[in-house]
């Protein structure tokens, strides 16, 4: 006999999920495979950068206060080694950008301000001491803290770590997430469905969504509606992964087996949420790991993922910022209200005259994945009898910041 699940509000459901997940144990990872991972340690410089005084221009290394003109060229210092040169009054050395400043010199004059003839260099301007010289430690001083634990590693942080020789760092690992499709009617996308069958889209949608939030998807394939088979797949997923996401089989049908399996193997925290789409969304923990049993309809599963699974996976990966931005938007057209459940209405936002304007993606059936295609926002429409009027302001969850300006046609 299936337990009767209380319907809870979406906010309460998210709270329940977020309370039960924690960041994974930090690991040592390659700096160069850590894009978008979260650093779990403070990082300090172990050397000065630049490590030697060097030129920031192509020109001549000189003694700034020397008044001799022209000066004798004693040699050249290019980047990558130390030449045997000593700059003294009356002399100068050719130098290139990034090359070490020869001993004796204290400034660089750009080649543009000089004339060179017969081994002599005429300076057409004066320079001050330290001009165009990058001193030791100017960019980073030894022992300085350069990154803080909790930082998300982007291109610049990865480059910074490389510049200090840190080829590995301690970071929160990417959660491994098992993804399972369920249902007797579901077949692989490359199959020709027999009458009554449909192709699996959810597993591919959800694995892509897992990857988008920086986690690692692991396919568990398709499970048919048999208790023993589904139980084995659930346990297999949890034995190798940090979280499990299933789709289908959580509603009221006689073959909707997922909830009872999760009840037997672990603890179901909720099994029904007051939202459209996604009402039968079920959340459980089994062996201490989160299990998200998403509804089978393709839009219901993806919207549920976006609202509940994504923030949980981000928290497991050590992120502090886990929620999408919420902004007020103006409706371009009238939308019918739903007096049954609060709705997450798929829409496209565009920037018009300083406002974000929302256009519905059309028919909002939970089966119609096209209602997600092109959507960059979910309008959060409260439950109400009357319609939402064109020009009215509603709140929206931004799914992606859309690029807001086209690049002018170069032709
Ligand atoms: N008597 C009731 N029936 C239903 C209720 C209800 O409250 N009482 N809730 C409805 C709502 S709301 C939803 S959402 C669905 C969710 O049901 P399930 O999670 O059990 O999903 P299924 O029945 O297995 O599938 C629903 C639908 O989606 C198709 N599907 C399933 N998996 C996939 C997949 N991997 N790829 C593509 N499409 C998939 C499946 O064939 C069905 O058409 O329940 C309502 N029913
Ligand atoms: O809650 Mo269901 O997701 O509306 O179709």
d(CA 340, CA 378): 18
Beta bridge partners of 120: 72, 117
CB 153 within 8 Å of CB 29: no
- Which atom of ligand 2 is nearest the CA belonging to 304? 3
Q: What is the mean pLDDT of the chain?
A: 96
- Which atom of ligand 2 is nearest the CA belonging to 365? 5
CA of 343 to the centre of ligand 2 (A): 10
Model pLDDT, residue 114: 98
CA of 187 to the centre of ligand 2 (A): 22
Model pLDDT, residue 364: 96
Residues of the chain with pLDDT under 50: none
Model pLDDT, residue 76: 98
CA of 279 to the centre of ligand 2 (A): 5
Pocket lining: 345 vs ligand 1, CB cutoff 6 Å: no
- Which atom of ligand 1 is nearest the CA belonging to 276? 12
Give strand ranges (E) for 12-140.
27-30, 43-44, 54-55, 59-62, 71-77, 91-95, 107-110, 114-117, 120-123, 133-134
pLDDT in tens, 222-279: 999 999 999 999 999 999 999 999 999 999 888 889 999 999 999 999 999 999 999 9
Pocket lining: 298 vs ligand 1, CB cutoff 6 Å: yes
Enter the tokens of residue 236.
């297999």
The domains of the chain, with CATH numbers, are 10-24+174-316 (3.40.980.10), 27-44+149-171 (3.90.105.10), 54-134 (2.170.190.11), 326-398 (2.40.340.10)
d(CA 393, CA 377): 14
With a pLDDT cut of 70, the percent of the chain lying above it is 99
Model pLDDT, residue 269: 98
CA of 30 to the centre of ligand 2 (A): 42
Residue 393, C-beta contacts closer than 8 angstroms, at least 6 positions apart = 328, 329, 330, 331
Model pLDDT, residue 2: 66
Instruction: Provide the H-helix boundaries in 59-135.
Output: none
SS3 327: strand
Give strand ranges (E) for 52-158.
54-55, 59-62, 71-77, 91-95, 107-110, 114-117, 120-123, 133-134, 145-147
CA of 143 to the centre of ligand 2 (A): 56
Q: Could you tell me how many residues make up the chain?
A: 411
Mutate to test the pocket of ligand 2, among 10, 300, 369, 372 (most ligand atoms within 8 A of CB): 300
């Amino acid at each position: 006999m299936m337990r009767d699940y209380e319907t809870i509000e979406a906010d309460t459901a998210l709270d329940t999920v977020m309370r039960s997940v924690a960041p994974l144990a930090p690991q040592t990872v390659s700096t160069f495979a850590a894009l978008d991972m979260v650093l779990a340690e403070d990082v300090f410089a172990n050397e000065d950068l630049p490590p030697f005084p060097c030129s920031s221009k192509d020109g001549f290394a000189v003694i700034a206060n020397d008044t001799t003109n022209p000066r004798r060229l004693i040699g050249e210092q290019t980047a990558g080694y130390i030449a045997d040169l000593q700059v003294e009054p009356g002399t100068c050395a050719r130098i290139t950008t990034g090359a070490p400043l020869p001993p004796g010199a204290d400034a660089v004059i750009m080649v543009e301000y000089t004339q060179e003839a017969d081994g002599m260099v005429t300076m057409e301007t004066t320079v001050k001491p330290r001009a165009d010289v990058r001193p030791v430690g100017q960019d980073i001083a030894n022992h300085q803290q350069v990154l803080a634990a909790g930082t998300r590693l982007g291109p610049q942080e990865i480059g910074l770590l490389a510049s200090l020789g840190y080829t590995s760092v301690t970071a929160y690992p990417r959660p491994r997430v098992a993804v399972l499709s369920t249902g007797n009617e579901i077949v692989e996308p490359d199959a020709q469905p027999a009458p009554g069958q449909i192709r699996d889209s959810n597993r591919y949608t959800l694995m892509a969504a897992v990857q988008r939030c920086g986690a690692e998807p692991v396919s568990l394939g398709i499970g048919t509606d048999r208790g023993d088979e589904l139980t084995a797949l659930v346990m297999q997923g949890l034995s190798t992964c940090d979280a499990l996401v299933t789709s289908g089989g959580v509603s009221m049908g006689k073959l909707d087996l997922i909830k009872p399996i999760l009840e037997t193997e672990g603890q179901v925290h909720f099994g029904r949420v007051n939202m459209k789409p996604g009402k039968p969304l079920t959340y459980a923990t089994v062996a201490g790991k989160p299990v998200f049993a998403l509804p089978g309809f393709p839009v219901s599963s993806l919207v549920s993922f976006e609202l509940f699974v994504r923030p949980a996976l981000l928290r497991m990966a050590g992120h502090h910022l886990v929620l999408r931005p919420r902004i007020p938007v103006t409706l371009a057209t009238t939308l019918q209200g739903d007096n049954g459940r609060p709705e997450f209405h798929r829409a496209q936002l565009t920037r018009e005259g300083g406002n974000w304007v929302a256009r519905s993606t059309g028919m909002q059936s939970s089966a119609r994945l096209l209602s997600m295609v092109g959507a960059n926002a979910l309008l959060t429409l409260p439950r109400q009898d009357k319609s939402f009027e064109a020009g009215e302001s509603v709140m929206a969850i931004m799914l992606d910041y859309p690029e807001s300006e086209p690049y002018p046609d170069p032709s």
